[in-house]
Amino acid sequence: MKIPLPDHGLHQFLKTALQVHHRFISGGLSRAESPIYVIGNPSADLDSIISALVYSYFANNRALRDYQRPHVPIINLDNVLAGSELRRLRPEFVKALQLATENARNTSEAEESSMLKEHFLTVADFAAQLQQRPSRRPIQAESVLVDWNALPIRSSDTRRGTGSLPGLSAVEFTVVGCIDHHANEKFLSSISEAQPLVVEPAGSCTSLVVRTLEELSLWQKANTGGSKSVSASEKQIAKLAMAPILIDTANLTSKDKVTKFDISAYDFLLPKATTGDSSWDSSRFYTAIHETKQNSLELLTVDEVLDRDYKEWAEKPSRTVDQAPVQIGICSMVKSIPWVVRKAGGSAAFLDSLKQFALHRKLDIVLVMTAFSSAKEGQFSRELLAYTLNDRGVNALKSFISQASSQLGLGEWFPLDGDDHAQDIKSRLQSSEDGALWTRLWVQTNVAKSRKQLAPLVRDAAASL
């Protein structure tokens, strides 16, 4: 069944989605009119944001059978309002949006911030808006998860697939669909055939979103009829969807990340992106967004660097009854350990930042995974730093090292990105046990293993306590 494509542009869709959202939280919509919130994961990276945006755009009032309802994308940041702070903290998303909508020139920072505020909804926005309601009644809402498959706060009753988000406890979400490329958390119950349940490995979740939309007949392949077969709005969405696919697969050159779904999505999107403009170059598009992402960390504090691409888990130990879960946080960053140490003002200052980061989030374990091109040879490299301040964390990390060291290729650390502070880093970070402080630092030689593979390994180690 061929379902007509949306007849509205991206910005019009986003403004309408926000209007629907405001009517919903004010109590002005029936269940049949209520939105389905499309929620990306809490790292709120390019893949997560654009997966939610693209799926919402095409599923909005067009999904099958009883789910022909509004879809509202949410950027999963619980401490960032849409506007100037979103622009500062996620400039690569703004760059992708500019390039995709051909609005990269003659736009001031103030205009960009205003555009984000008027068109996007973050978790922090949602929470702030609920505080302004005269009623404090809880809200029941439905959601589709993209780029993750489990809500972090699960409902206290026995129902699977229901829960809430940090910073948004007044809203209980029932998950009615999911598209994800991470390990299955076994959170979801059976889902209606009218909504997708896709949990498969892929370089980019957006690749799975594109495939799912095609399979649901919500987005068709470009015809061979030239420019008339693809509207200007569809062309923009195609370019936008291309951004995370290229970023997450290093422009489709990473053999360890590229899957058949990424290749298929690229082949699906390219004819749409180049409609009426055969000179459009996906490599230049990738380079512009990649450079923006690389340079974005220069504008952040150390705490913001750690928090920028961050995820956390609570893992229940299996051997000890009534023991609290081990709280695990993993920070990913596209700069080296020496870079962040220099930014902090030295190893001691960086360790203090890590300590405050862990204490603020009540973490037992912090892992910092870096991914960057080395200064000497330009080779893609990874480092891994493990940090804890308590005995439970030490025991879990020792188990993790024993079980996962060979899989990750953990080797003695040496500076891959210049040698500034190298001796200071080695003496303080490489293998430190100072009172409650316990750290380990390695070069990770198996660079194919990203956070998607790291997280299950450290979680298994915590569960084995």
- Look up the CATH number of the domain holding residue 334: 3.10.310.20
Q: 3-class DSSP state for residue 235?
A: helix
Structural domain of 428: 300-463
- In the block, tokens 């650390």 appear at 413
Q: Which amino acid is residue 80, in one-letter code? A: V
Q: What is the DSSP letter of 65?
A: G
Identify whether the C-beta of residue 116 lies closer than 8 Å to the C-beta of residue 12: no
Distances (CA, A) of 225 to 147, 229, 238, 239, 272: 34, 6, 17, 19, 11
Please list the pLDDT of the chain residue by residue as tens digits (465 residues): 567 788 789 999 999 999 999 999 998 898 889 999 999 999 999 999 999 999 999 999 886 665 688 999 999 999 999 999 999 999 999 999 999 998 656 678 899 999 999 999 999 999 999 998 877 788 999 999 999 999 999 887 667 899 999 999 999 999 999 999 998 998 987 776 678 999 999 999 999 999 999 998 999 987 755 445 899 999 999 999 999 999 999 999 988 899 999 999 999 999 999 998 888 999 999 999 999 998 888 889 999 999 999 999 999 898 776 688 999 999 999 999 999 999 999 999 999 999 999 999 999 999 999 998 876 667 889 999 999 999 999 999 999 999 999 999 999 998 887 666 677 788 888 777 776 689 999 999 999 899 999 999 999 999 998
Asked whether residue 246 falls in the same domain as residue 395, the answer is: no
| Any domain includes 105 | yes
Distance CA 435, CA 429 (A): 14
| Any domain includes 3 | no
Give the start-end residues of each E strand in 111-224: 139-146, 153-154, 162-165, 168-180, 197-199
Neighbours of 199 (CB within 10 A): 18
Last residue of a domain, one of 277, 293, 309: 293
Asked whether residue 341 falls in the same domain as residue 423, the answer is: yes
| Any domain includes 179 | yes
The confidence score (pLDDT) of residue 224 equals 56
| Any domain includes 1 | no
Identify whether the C-beta of residue 443 lies closer than 8 Å to the C-beta of residue 433: no
In sequence order, the 6+-apart residues with CB closer than 8 A to the CB of 19 are: none
In sequence order, the 6+-apart residues with CB closer than 8 A to the CB of 189 are: 159, 160, 161
| Any domain includes 181 | yes
The confidence score (pLDDT) of residue 109 equals 86
Asked whether residue 174 falls in the same domain as residue 319, the answer is: no
Can you say whether the dihedral through the CA atoms of 276, 280, 282, 286 is positive or negative?
negative
Asked whether residue 358 falls in the same domain as residue 320, the answer is: yes
pTM given for the model: 0.89
Asked whether residue 321 falls in the same domain as residue 341, the answer is: yes
| Any domain includes 148 | yes
Distance CA 343, CA 144 (A): 38
Last residue of a domain, one of 245, 272, 293: 293
Neighbours of 58 (CB within 10 A): 23
Asked whether residue 317 falls in the same domain as residue 270, the answer is: no
Asked whether residue 153 falls in the same domain as residue 271, the answer is: yes
The confidence score (pLDDT) of residue 149 equals 95
Asked whether residue 145 falls in the same domain as residue 265, the answer is: yes
The confidence score (pLDDT) of residue 192 equals 67
Asked whether residue 82 falls in the same domain as residue 197, the answer is: yes
Asked whether residue 105 falls in the same domain as residue 209, the answer is: yes
For residue 210, give the CATH number of its domain.
3.90.1640.10
Asked whether residue 276 falls in the same domain as residue 346, the answer is: no
| Any domain includes 107 | yes
Number of domains in the chain: 2
| Any domain includes 5 | no
Asked whether residue 101 falls in the same domain as residue 127, the answer is: yes
Residue 354 phi, psi dihedral angles, 5° rounding: -65, -40
The confidence score (pLDDT) of residue 135 equals 76
Last residue of a domain, one of 293, 328, 343: 293
The predicted-structure confidence for 51-61, as pLDDT tens digits, reads as follows: 999 999 999 98
Q: Which residues of 172-189 are buried (b: 16+ CB within 10 A; e: fewer)?
A: bbbbbbbbbbbeeeebbe
